[in-house]
Amino acid sequence: MFKVSDAEDRRKILDQYKTLKQNAVKDGKPYIVTCEVGETGQDPRSKGWNIVAKTTFASKADMDYYDNECEAHKGLKVFAKPLVEDVTTVWFESIFSE
């Protein structure tokens, strides 16, 4: 989740995400299962977080690759860093994944 106060900066970050899934490759192949990104609704429970990204991977190893080695994700992080006031990241394994 991101806190980005400027609406134009939010649009720029969302535009970067539009190409992330296509450009993110591991061993020459796409490896992101799903990537869902959007602005939060107007709701006080959002507490200032206004962009949410949920990226799904086939394995923890793929997630680690994304977080530490993926050139497309590195580019997104470099682009977004000066625009973002705060970021938080969590990961989980679904109870339905079996």
Print pLDDT tens along the chain (98 aa): 999 999 999 999 999 999 998 899 999 999 999 999 999 999 999 999 999 999 999 999 999 999 999 999 999 999 999 999 999 999 999 898 76
pTM score of the predicted model: 0.89
Q: Return the pLDDT at 98.
A: 61
Q: Would you kindly state where each structural domain of the chain is located, as residue ranges?
A: 2-87
Q: What are phi and psi of 50, to 5 degrees?
A: -125, 0
Specify the CATH number for 2-87; select among 3.30.450.40, 3.30.310.10, 2.120.10.70, 3.30.70.100.
3.30.70.100
Q: Return the pLDDT at 69.
A: 98
Question: Residue 87, class by beta-carbon neighbours within 10 Å (0-12 exposed, 13-18 middle, 19+ buried)?
Answer: middle
